[in-house]
Chain A
Amino acid sequence: MFIDLNNILDIDEKQPPDRISISISSSQTDNGFLIHHFLSLYIRNGYNVCMVSFTQSFSHYNNVGQKLGVNITAARDNGTLIFIDGLKLINECLFASPGDSGGVEKNPFSFVSDPKPDLKNLYDHIKQTITSFSSHSTVPTLLLMDDLGILTDLGVPVLAVGDLMMYLRNFMTSAQTLRSGCLVSVVQADKDAADEEHELLLTRLAHNSDMMLHCKSLNSGYCKDVHGELLVTWLDPKQNYPFTSRAKRMQFKIMDKTVSFFAAGMSSAVL
């Protein structure tokens, strides 16, 4: 959890936002610190977290959590964090021979090997996981999806991923449900590569979120002391026409245990 970032995002440290959908994207830089920020912010406040990771194993998040002063293993053991290891589960599907489908049937990611993927199983699995939280507590829940771009890379159509996110958003933020939640989704979309599917997915997510965080590399190129630029956009929740949105732009430098933010061009390295 980075206090500076909370200030920039207008987040109350003691009361993380709920009923909100946040999308994180990045272009030619790393957005990992944002994921660790939200993860540690919710765990520290004792909120429920359901994390679906496609990129890293549990130990990675745990080790970074230790540096940030949050015990993620303890959170998992006492049931406030449920970690769905997509990397491992998808791998099981990739190795399943066509003959035996017994083990794969229960796997929520079995759609990966399907020519016509149906993500309903994954949606049901996540829904079930989150419902299992709310049965014994009433605190808000964070659903964190680390890198949806991986799904499209593995051949899942963008439409299917977009639909999944729309359903999940409805589930997490709609007023009908008793629980309240926050949905954070991540996608990597490099500007220079012009990956149509990733851009399409990002656009889909943009229509689906209340706040967008976009990290991008510096236009001027690589710098050892300024690692990138963070663009924060708040979208009007009522979607009134003409759309009004508020934006902030900051540069950042990632350090071992924290991230420092400064206005563009105000790095201590150049002043």
Chain B
Amino acid sequence: MAAPTTSFRKKVSTKILQIPGTRPSLHNNQLLISSGVPSFDSVIGGGIAVGTAILVEEDTYGSYGKLLLKYFIAEGIVCGHSSFLATADTKPDQIVKELPSAIVDDPGAVQDAQPSSSEADDSMKIAWRYQNMSKVQAAPVSTKFGHYFDLTKVMNPEVLAKTDMRQFYLPDEEIPDRHSNSIMNPAYQKLLQDIKSHIINKNFSTSSSKQPQQQRNILRIAIHSLGSPLWGEGEVNPDSYDPSLPRFLYGLRALLRSAFASCLITVPTYIFNDTAFTRRIENMCDTVVQLESFVGSERETNPVYKDYHGLFHILKIPRLNSLTCHMPDSLDLAFKLRRKKFTIEKLHLPPELSDTASRPQEDKDVVVKPKTVGCSTGSSKLDF
């Protein structure tokens, strides 16, 4: 009965996680999700890695920071991801209502889908074998990576009703009073506990036993204006160092590392007087970007910036599982907001100084090779 054993084995490709709206990074093979703004994804190296936190330092009036948060959630809804939205001032309901609607690249494809399905019922005469082929061709358009959103339209309420979203609105939560020996600000502690229990209950943890029929999904956590006084920051003795926010972010980082979740946090860092404190918060997050809007500044009228609405600073790009990180060509970036597009562009090109310079290397070409052709004396091109 013993079958001849052979070392030959059919190559079974290792099962890569197939989660809609994700793709592996070309750089370090991390699973990435889109931020909802394709040009944002490209400047930070392809997208937001699953298991990391991205910090957006808000512009002075917070409007663009909030917009990025909306894009982040809207992208998740279009891709079918779960989300967790935490706010302290605007109600999460309000933010959800205002989510922009995705622009479908090819509106024709959606309309064509209906008639073709009815025609396909006709039995085929010639290429009859094709009858058994499945009718669905490609994955649905909506699961691709990164979308553009139309800010003039809001997202379809039916789609919103179907999505899995947990909302956390600080004034509605029961927050215990702060004890002198509590680990951190009770508002943060409650939020951290809620995120943890949500990750465990909904099986987003990497260690949770996965039922075979259950599809892995991504949890997108969005926290709006964390660190503002509404969250209770700076309430107790403003003179001494309050490690609540760094502790919260550190706890969050540890949670995310073992979960199929990514987190986008907007923080109004301009209200912190101490740059050292801002730097500590940045150290606790993986990716850090800063928005600097021109609104109210003299740059608004400066002709150099007439096409743009603000500057986009990349402060930190994570080094995940590798020595290097994504190195953008230039850090002089600016953003502009159009009706259907939020784009981040290079403000100007950097000086051409690189190993792979496109300029010709004159030095090498100048070397004159000794001519071996006998007739030539080398003095003239037409010398015989």
**Which residues from chain A sit less than 8 Å from chain B, CB to CB?**
30, 32-33, 36, 57, 59-60, 63-64, 67, 87-88, 90-91, 93-95, 98, 112-113, 115, 149-150, 153-155, 188, 190, 192-198, 222-225, 227, 254-257, 259, 268-270
Contact = CB atoms under 8 A, between A and B. Distances in A.
Nearest to B315: A28
A188 B254 CA distance: 19
Contacts of A95: 192-193, 196, 251
B327 A30 contact: no
Nearest to A59: B321
A67 B357 CA distance: 27
Contacts of B320: 60
Contact of B254 (A87, A155, A197): A87
B279 interface: yes
Contact of A256 (B192, B324, B328): B324
Contacts of A150: 250, 283
Contact of B280 (A87, A153, A254): A153
B324 A193 contact: no
A6 B343 CA distance: 45
B14 interface: no
B342 to A, nearest CB: 24
Interface stretch (B83-91, B218-226, B240-248, B300-308): B240-248
Given A155-B241, A225-B353, A255 B193 contact: no
Interface in B174-216: 179-184, 192-193, 196
A195 B251 contact: no
B133 interface: no
Given A63-B322, A193-B276, A91 B283 contact: no
B323 A33 contact: yes
Contacts of B283: 149-150, 153, 188
A225 B355 contact: yes
B284 A153 contact: yes
B324 A255 contact: yes
B122 to A, nearest CB: 54
Interface residues of B, number: 44
14 contacts: A67-B322, A87-B250, A90-B250, A91-B251, A95-B193, A98-B179, A154-B243, A154-B247, A195-B280, A254-B323, A255-B323, A255-B324, A256-B322, A257-B323
A23 B258 CA distance: 30
Nearest to A30: B319
A57 B275 contact: no
Nearest to B240: A155
A138 B179 CA distance: 49
Contacts of A67: 322-323
Contacts of A223: 353
User: Which among A32, A150, A155 has the greatest number of chain B C-beta atoms within 10 A?
Assistant: A155
Interface of B: 28, 179-184, 192-193, 196, 241, 243, 246-247, 250-251, 253-255, 257-258, 275-276, 278-280, 283-284, 319-325, 327-329, 331, 350, 353-355, 357
A158 B30 CA distance: 36
- Ordered nearest first, which 7 A-B pairs have the shortest CB separation? A155-B243, A195-B276, A91-B254, A63-B321, A193-B279, A94-B251, A113-B183
Contacts of A197: 241, 276
A259 B253 CA distance: 28
Nearest to B29: A63
Given A60-B320, A195-B280, A222 B331 contact: yes
Contact of B250 (A91, A224, A254): A91
Nearest to B244: A155
Contacts of A57: 257-258
B275 A194 contact: yes
B355 A269 contact: yes
A223 B354 CA distance: 9
Nearest to B279: A193
A64 B350 CA distance: 31
Nearest to A147: B283
B247 A190 contact: no
A270 to B, nearest CB: 6
A32 B319 CA distance: 9
Contacts of A198: 276
Nearest to B189: A94
A59 to B, nearest CB: 7
Contacts of B325: 30
A177 to B, nearest CB: 33
Contacts of A91: 250-251, 254-255
Nearest to B247: A154
B23 to A, nearest CB: 19
B322 to A, nearest CB: 6
A98 B183 CA distance: 9
A24 to B, nearest CB: 15
Contacts of A60: 320-321
B254 A90 contact: yes
Given A87-B254, A94-B250, A227-B327, 4 more contacts: A87-B253, A95-B193, A155-B246, A269-B357
A219 to B, nearest CB: 15
A213 to B, nearest CB: 16
Contacts of A255: 323-324
A154 B246 contact: yes
A190 B279 CA distance: 8
Contacts of A33: 323
User: Which among A59, A154, A259 has the greatest number of chain B C-beta atoms within 10 A?
Assistant: A154
